[in-house]
């Protein structure tokens, strides 16, 4: 295990398609639960640029209309596959695409209505961000 010196800033990406469905993934990094795409912010990169880059790298989708949801602290949580300290910056965004091309980090995906997603086994951080987003968007189904 490499010694971590500082927390790692990451972005979580809540991608919504034209039908108002949310993209959820299943990944070996978060076994047994659904999560959203995301990843590290690179040195010198703005958060919004990291959202666009990570969305493209992990799903093949172009995203727009970014909306900051909130940030969360993740400090050595055993639910992750590595012992790390992250700071999650979660964003909602839109895509016109429907065809997802996963990279090696995810095994499967689904598009689902946001309120229906709450019935799935979600990672606790994903659930918290989705609930926050829904509180701001009561019209969402």
For residue 109, the enclosing domain spans 8-136
72, with CB counted inside 10 A (0-12, 13-18, 19+), is middle
pLDDT digits (tens, 9 = 90+) for 81-127: 678 899 999 999 999 998 999 998 889 999 999 999 999 999 999 99
Residue 98 falls inside a structural domain:
yes
Residue 2 falls inside a structural domain:
no
| Nearest Cα to Cα of residue 114 among 34, 39, 58 | 34
Task: Indicate which CATH number applies to the domain containing 30.
Answer: 3.90.79.10
Residue 114 falls inside a structural domain:
yes
| Nearest Cα to Cα of residue 11 among 89, 86, 65, 124 | 89
* Residue 50 and residue 11 in contact, taking contact as beta carbons nearer than 8 Å: yes
Q: What is the pLDDT of residue 2?
A: 60
Residue 82 falls inside a structural domain:
yes
Q: What's the domain count of the chain?
A: 1
Residue 105 falls inside a structural domain:
yes
Residue 97 CA, chain-centre distance (Å), reads 17
Examine the pLDDT at 58 and tell me if it is beyond 90.
yes
Instruction: Please report where in the chains the tokens 């016109």 appear, as a residue.
Output: 96
Q: What is the pLDDT of residue 30?
A: 82
Examine the pLDDT at 71 and tell me if it is beyond 80.
yes
In percent, how much of the chain has pLDDT > 90?
Answer: 82
Residue 3 falls inside a structural domain:
no
């Amino acid at each position: 295990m490499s010694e971590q010196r500082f927390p790692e800033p990451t972005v979580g990406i809540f991608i919504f398609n034209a039908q108002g469905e949310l993209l959820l993934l299943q990944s070996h990094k978060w076994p047994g639960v659904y999560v959203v795409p995301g990843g590290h912010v690179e040195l010198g990169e703005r958060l919004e640029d990291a959202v666009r880059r990570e969305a493209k790298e992990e799903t093949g989708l172009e995203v727009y209309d970014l909306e900051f949801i909130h940030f969360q602290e993740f400090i050595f949580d055993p639910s992750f596959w590595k012992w790390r300290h992250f700071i999650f910056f979660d964003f909602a965004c839109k895509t016109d695409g429907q065809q997802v091309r996963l990279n090696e980090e995810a095994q499967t995906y689904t598009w689902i209505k946001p309120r229906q997603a709450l019935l799935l086994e979600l990672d606790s951080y994903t659930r918290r961000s989705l609930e926050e987003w829904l509180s701001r968007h009561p019209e969402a189904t």
